[in-house]
Structure 1
Amino acid sequence: MIASRKIEVVDLFCGIGGLSFGMKSKGFDILAGYDLDATCRYAYETNNEAKFIYKDIKTVSADEIGALYSKDAIRVLAGCAPCQPFSSYAFKNKKKDPNKYDLLYEFGRLVKDTLPDIVTMENVSQILAFKDKPVLSDFVDLLKENDYRVWVKPVYCPDYGIPQTRKRLVLLASRLGKIELIPPTHKPNEYKTVKDAIGDLPELKAGEADPNDSLHRAKALSPKNLDRIRNTPYGGGWKNWPEELKLRCHKTDGGSSFGSVYGRMVWEKPAPTMTTQCTGLGNGRFGHPTQDRAISVREAALIQTFPKTYKFFADEQYVAITKASRYIGNAVPPRLGEIIAESISKHINSNLTDL
């Protein structure tokens, strides 16, 4: 049971609404989501019953944010600033977008000027080791200077019932008192697996779609890539192929280290991290465990813990696999949103027992 005052959430960088949806499922009132990708509007508004505001965060004012909250509500400001500058890929990529470094500072500006009761942020764990700009430590310092108690740590998603080996940084901050994420809900022998997530879906061939589920569709494969997946044993990858099927880049010293590319998942373990290219066979260990194809859009969504009822498009008969994969890979898993909400509820109950 949570405190009697409403808990209201404004979600910055909301995307299609994974974080908002998880928090909504735990009884929080989602007021609005801000994002600069207008195509996310349908999914965000339909699933969260909240307003989608298409706007650059750099043009959002504190007065605008403050006006969204009710007078007596407990105010939560949430955000997942785009993580590309801090991802593992960005460390290898010299052409980074310098404007995206500033987004966490913009989040900080809005925190400082609106002083919500609680702040939460999710990002890639590599931000902890980022040396070019101390954006995370600057953000934490700003919170502490404004009387927030801060908890910030990497979180291993299987520990919380998410069936993928995703590791994310979670930050919780409160002006009400000490706050922290709830303890792990799953031990290693209880981790949700690929089979738990997608084991009951109908079989598909590459390029096919399930007539009863338009999101359960898989990308077509070229004849050579079809040969490659057929030569990939259970849990294996390109290193198991005959020489004539290997790519030239795999034979170099650099390429040989990417052992998971073109790999198959296994039923008994969590999936790898879902990325924006998770439905492409050559982009990671995204091969189906036993079928000769990459995972479908539906499978990627379920691994990200989106329920089958989640609506991604107004007309799902004409799903663009590339667009859907981007939505899913960029999203906060709704289950992680639930865990963050449970942590906030527990914190509120322990600090505001008179509400």
Structure 2
Amino acid sequence: MENKNTTQHRIKAVDLFCGVGGLTHGLTKGGIEVVTGVDVDLACRFPFEANNSAKFVEHDVAYLESGTVEQWFGNSELRLLTGCAPCQPFSTYSRSGRNTQYDMQWPLVLSFGRLIRDIQPELIAMENVPQLVDHPVFQDFLDSLQGYAKWWSIVDCSAFGVPQTRKRLVLLASKIGSHNLKLLPTEVDNSTVRKTIGDLPPILAGESHPEDSLHVAPSLSKLNLQRIRASKPGGTWRDWPSHLLADCHKKSSGATYPSVYGRMEWDKAAPTITTQCFGYGNGRFGHPEQDRALSLREAAMLQTFPREYAFIPRGGEIKFNKIGKLIGNAVPVRLGEVIAHRLISHVQSYICN
């Protein structure tokens, strides 16, 4: 019987649509070696390579050749192909104007399937938005998994130690067998906003902390500053005096969006961290106590990135939209770590037998 350390080092992974490295970092923490990350967004190169030992390759997965990926795996005995294809076609932020621009991204899920059929890796992991299961492209993807044992489910990431109510589709597949493929909730207490960001130094809206340029929150208008001061953790804009209400709140349609302009609660999980999480009016992204929205560092930590994770070079320019997008689109590091533990346990159960 081989020990666990021997098993985990035999697994090598290629991370498609790797982004800034959330999944890669989690897999690495969990004991799986990631050799290459692939993404079409060049802005991901610095954070991916600065925080991980894997190589970043700028490439469109739609045109990625299977032979190239096989070369990255080398002579690895256990190959894990993993990734999260862009999910904008299903995002509530993009539905109103997505049309052909975002529809063109749906085939990226099929590109993942094409590489699986060609390469036949021993292990597969996919993370994506829950809405994917209702689209025909998901069944097409499942069809590419002929010969694999597979498990998939829509999971709440808070059940695995991620301090946010983030629901995601997770799929694991294996050519080895079906034992131990199912993700199980962790036994540790679920993290909260307080446990995750409570010890960060206070800052004001529009201020950056001198020792961490990513711990920066956007400025607020005079009106929004009044609004957040009138907001209570877990409350809504309905708690405000009438003179602070926006015109949309006074319409019947506005009543269906109670979570905008909200504060988070210290001792609960945060809401889903989105690409617009730095904006006070974009959701319940107000700090539980300070009169400001989340800082970019706080958003990253709620995505379970380590506090020291670098997203831009030292002295680089902070662009909220750009960095917010990278953070919000990332796979939570903790979820990647849980996936790694499960796959190692899965492989180990067959090696031990």
TM norm structure 2 = 0.94
Shift of 1:213: 1.7
The 2-side partners of 1:222 and 1:251 are apart by 20
In the other structure, the counterpart of 1:229 is 228
- 1:27 matched to which residue of 2? 31
Q: 1:86 Cα deviation (Å)? A: 2.1
2:273 and 2:42 map into 1 onto residues whose CA distance is: 22
Match of 1:181 in 2: 182
Q: CA deviation at 1:89?
A: 4.0
1:70 corresponds in structure 2 to 74
Change in Cα spacing, 1:125 to 1:316, as seen in structure 2 (3 Å) is farther
For 1:310, what is the secondary structure of its paired residue?
Answer: coil
Residue 60 (structure 1) shift: 0.7
> Which residue pairs with 1:165 in the alignment?
165
- Is 2:36–2:56's contact at 8 Å kept on the other side of the alignment? yes
Give the SS at the match of 1:116. coil
Superposed displacement of residue 91, structure 1:
5.2
Partner of 1:154, secondary structure, is: strand
Tell whether the 8 Å contact from 2:50 to 2:310 is kept in structure 1 after alignment. yes
Q: Report the RMSD for the aligned CA atoms in angstroms.
A: 1.6
CA deviation digits over 1:128-154, x for unaligned, max 9? 233xxx1111111220x2x11110001
Tell me which of 115, 139, 147 is aligned to 1:110.
115
Aligned partner of residue 14 in structure 1, secondary structure: coil
The aligned runs of 1:88-127 (5 Å cut-off) are 88-90=92-94, 95=99, 97-127=102-132
The CA distance in 1 between the partners of 2:87 and 2:76, in whole Å, is: 33
1:44 equivalent to 2:48? Answer yes
Change (3 A) 1:297 1:50: same
Give the Å deviation of 1:230: 1.2
Q: C-alpha offsets along residues 135-175 of structure 1, whole Å, 9 cap, x if unaligned?
A: 111111220x2x11110001111111110000110000000
Corresponding residue for 2:323?
Answer: 324
2: distance between equivalents of 1:42 and 1:319? 14
Q: CA deviation at 1:237?
A: 2.2
Letter in 1 for 2:170: V
Distance 2:113 2:312 in 1: 32
- Give the match for residue 84 of structure 1: 88
Shift of 1:29: 1.5
Tell me the distance in 1 between the aligned counterparts of 2:262 and 2:253. Answer: 17
Contact 2:30/2:338 (<8 A) preserved = no
Using the alignment, how far apart are the partners of 1:121 and 1:316 within structure 2?
Answer: 35
Query: What does the per-residue CA deviation read over 1:247-300, in whole Å, with 9 as the maximum and x for residues that have no partner?
Result: 111122222110000000011100000000001001000000111100101110
**Which of the residues 133, 137, 146 maps onto 1:128?**
133
Structure 2 CA distance for aligned equivalents of residues 307 and 240 of structure 1:
35
Residue aligned with 1:259, SS: coil
For residue 277 of structure 1, what is the amino acid of its counterpart? Answer: Q
In structure 1, the residue matched to 2:302 is: 303
TM-score normalised to the size of structure 1? Answer: 0.94
The answer for unaligned runs of 5 or more in structure 2 is: none
In 2: Cα distance, 1:198 partner to 1:109 partner:
41
Residue 195 of structure 1, CA deviation: 0.4
- Distance change (3 Å), C-alpha of 1:23 and 1:316: farther
Distance of aligned partners of 1:169 and 1:59 in 2 relative to their CA distance in 1, 3 Å threshold: same
Name the CA shift for 1:316/1:117 in 2 (closer, same or farther; >3 Å).
Answer: farther
Between stretches 232-241 and 82-91, larger displacement belongs to 82-91
Gaps of 5+ in 1: none
Alignment of 1:203-214 (within 5 A): 203-214=202-213
**Partners in 2 of 1:214 and 1:38 — Cα distance?**
21
Q: CA deviation at 1:10?
A: 0.4
Secondary structure of the residue that 1:25 maps to in structure 2? helix
AA at the equivalent of 2:186: T
Q: What is the one-letter code of the residue matched to 1:169?
A: L
User: C-alpha distance in 1, partners of 2:306/2:243?
Assistant: 41
Distance 1:235 1:182 in 2: 30
- Describe the SS at the equivalent of 1:44: helix
Deviation for aligned residue 1:243 = 1.7
**1:186 Cα deviation from its structure 2 partner:** 4.2
**Is the contact between residue 87 and residue 127 of structure 1 (CA under 8 Å) also seen in structure 2?**
no
Q: CA deviation at 1:183?
A: 1.5
Matched, 1:9 2:13: yes
